[in-house]
Amino acid sequence: KAGVTQTPRYLIKTRGQQVTLSCSPISGHRSVSWYQQTPGQGLQFLFEYFSETQRNKGNFPGRFSGRQFSNSRSEMNVSTLELGDSALYLCASSPVPGSETQYFGPGTRLLVL
């Protein structure tokens, strides 16, 4: 079974631009969560989607948004990029919300200049 895939793996943007990251969960998994990893803050929860609906949201500004498609693939969007948005963005999938374990993708490393 293929793992969680994320595209692109690396991205360089400038302040003020917007970015869209994509995540394809493990086949059969319907829950997708997004995390931001930075050296100082560790892994911080962004949001979780299940059946095309956002179930949970972390403490991030409205510039961070996401969606999930009927095939469970998910995208997250960051608008009006700031330097502090430079981070590794990780996507994790699980069969349903509340599953014991989540399976993480390799992440998208975003650099904002």
Partner 1 sequence: DQQVKQNSPSLSVQEGRISILNCDYTNSMFDYFLWYKKYPAEGPTFLISISSIKDKNEDGRFTVFLNKSAKHLSLHIVPSQPGDSAVYFCAASAWNTDKLIFGTGTRLQVFP
> What is the binding site for partner 1 (CB under 8 A)?
4, 33, 35, 40-45, 48, 55-56, 58, 90, 92, 97-98, 100-107
Residue 75 or residue 103: which is nearer to partner 1 going by CB?
A: 103
Give the dihedral sign, CA 80/86/92/98.
negative
Min dist CB 15 to partner 1, Å, is 26
For residues 88 and 109, the answer to whether their CB atoms sit within 8 Å is yes
Residue 79 or residue 97: which is nearer to partner 1 going by CB?
A: 97
Residue 5 or residue 79: which is nearer to partner 1 going by CB?
A: 5
**What 3-state DSSP class applies to 83?**
helix
Min dist CB 48 to partner 1, Å, is 7
Length of the chain measured in residues: 113
- CA–CA separation, 54 and 34 (whole Å): 11
